[in-house]
Amino acid sequence: MRRNLIVMGERCIEGNYGRVMAAGALHIDNSDIRALYLAGETSIHRSAVHKFFGSGQVNADCVSFGNIKVAGQVNLQGICKGDTLIVTGDLSAEFLECRILRSSPAGSKGKSGHFKWWGTLKAETFENLYALDLSSCDYEFKNIISSAFLSYNGEIACNNFYSFGGLCCEGINAENITVIINDDISLQSVAGSNIRISKAFQADRLFKSIPKSFKYKNFTSDCGIVYIPSIEGDAISIEYTRSDVVSGVDVVIGDLCIIDRVEYTSSIVISEKAVVNEVVRL
């Protein structure tokens, strides 16, 4: 039977535990812990922690996590794996692989202040709920859902991309792309199979099927027109968008779009409330 443990101050532990509650500096080595609750600093080495809720600094080396929620600084060495990791703060990882990885909100820094993450990150779904800079990361995400300001010094690539907040990068390249209009969007290109740029979000079947840790509500943006110089895809539906070139197979140019050139190969629909300078069938 696993034993429970309460720790005050500095302590080193090793072995199998049920619930561990600690305040201070805890050092864990070669252990299997069912649930860890911590306020302070902890170092975890070659162990498994199935549930972890804490605040402070976490230093881990070759650790397997279940569900973890940490407010503070997280430093991961070696190969670390987990199911759902929710981090409020800065994160550095030599190699981290998990099912869901989330940057969690902690107040309102906005665009001028943000978390910064470093290292190699791999996840089925990355959720961004707080201003974050991914420029120092080598990442592999199947799904990206960003509800806060997200910055990256290159092209963001994944399978399914959803942006509900600010965005600053060179471009987006994904199979399915949904961008909800925001005043803090700065990117040069969008390329994918299915592209939707609009003022309103309503979860579809694909979005509902993506594993996630946060509940997202339908909403309508009150922001103005977004400028994206190049939009290229198969099925394209956009509104409140200004662009130099929109090129696709089936294209819908919705309300309040201002487009210099539209190229299409199969079908085109243009709203009476849109302005298009040139339409070309390829």
pLDDT at 26 over 60: yes
The alpha helices in the chain, defined as continuous H runs, are: 205-209
Q: Is 105 helix (H, G, I), strand (E, B) or coil?
A: coil
Residue 134 burial (10 A CB sphere; 0-12, 13-18, 19+): buried
229-262 residue pLDDT tens: 999 999 999 999 999 999 999 999 999 999 999 9
In the block, tokens 């197979």 appear at 249
- In the predicted model, what is the mean pLDDT of residues 37-58? 96
pLDDT at 184 over 70: yes
Strand partners, 26: 11
Q: What is the pLDDT of residue 1?
A: 59
Sign of CA dihedral 202, 100, 85, 139: negative
Q: What is the pLDDT of residue 8?
A: 92
**pTM of the predicted model over 0.75:** yes
With beta carbons less than 8 A apart as the criterion, state whether 30 and 44 touch.
no
Cα(261)–Cα(191) distance, rounded to whole angstroms? 16
Q: Is 162 helix (H, G, I), strand (E, B) or coil?
A: strand
Band of pLDDT at residue 16, cut at 50, 70 and 90: very high
φ, ψ dihedrals at 203, nearest 5°: -60, 130
Q: What is the pLDDT of residue 236?
A: 98
Q: What is the pLDDT of residue 106?
A: 59
213-228 residue pLDDT tens: 999 999 999 999 999 9
Q: What is the pLDDT of residue 108?
A: 41
Top pLDDT among 1 and 222 is at 222
Q: What percent of the chain has pLDDT over 70?
A: 97
pLDDT at 111 over 60: no
Say which residues have a Cβ less than 8 Å from residue 154's Cβ, sequence separation at least 6.
135, 169, 170
Cα(240)–Cα(243) distance, rounded to whole angstroms? 10
Residue 104 is given by DSSP the state P
75-110 residue pLDDT tens: 999 999 999 999 999 999 999 999 999 999 854 443
